[in-house]
Amino acid sequence: MKKLLTGLLLAGVFFSGIAYAKKVTVCTGYKVSAKEILDCNGDLNDYISIVKLYHKGWTLKTSIPGGNKFILVFEKND
C-alpha cells in the first residue's frame, strides 16, 4: 500500500510538471521597438517582431542591455 501511494504521488508530481511546461526563447536585437525584427533562438528559432511574439502568446520576462545589443527573454506556457 505504501509503494502504491508513493507511486501515485510521484506520478502526480510528474504530470503536474507537464501541465505547466514552459517554452523559453532568447531574442537579440540592436534596437528594441514594437516592430523591430529580432533574432530569436531557443524554443522559437525565427526572425520576428515583439508584436508578433505577443500575438503568438509569448510574454517578456526580462531584458538585458549589453554593449550595442539588447537581449530579451520571452516565455510561453504550453
The residue range of the domain holding 40 is 22-77
For residues 71 and 52, the answer to whether their CB atoms sit within 8 Å is: no
Each residue's pLDDT tens digit, 28-73: 998 888 889 999 999 999 999 999 999 999 999 988 877 788 889 9
Residue 11 inside a domain? The answer is: no
When comparing pLDDT for 5 and 58, which is higher? 58
Task: Tell me the whole-structure pTM to 2 decimals.
Answer: 0.70
The band of 78, judged by pLDDT with boundaries at 50, 70 and 90, is confident
- The pLDDT score that the predictor gives to residue 77 is 85
Answer yes or no: is pLDDT of 8 > 70: no
Q: Is 11 helix (H, G, I), strand (E, B) or coil?
A: helix
Domain total in the chain: 1
What is the rounded distance in angstroms from the CA atom of residue 30 to the CA atom of residue 76?
23
Residue 63 inside a domain? The answer is: yes
- The pLDDT score that the predictor gives to residue 66 is 73
Residue 10 inside a domain? The answer is: no
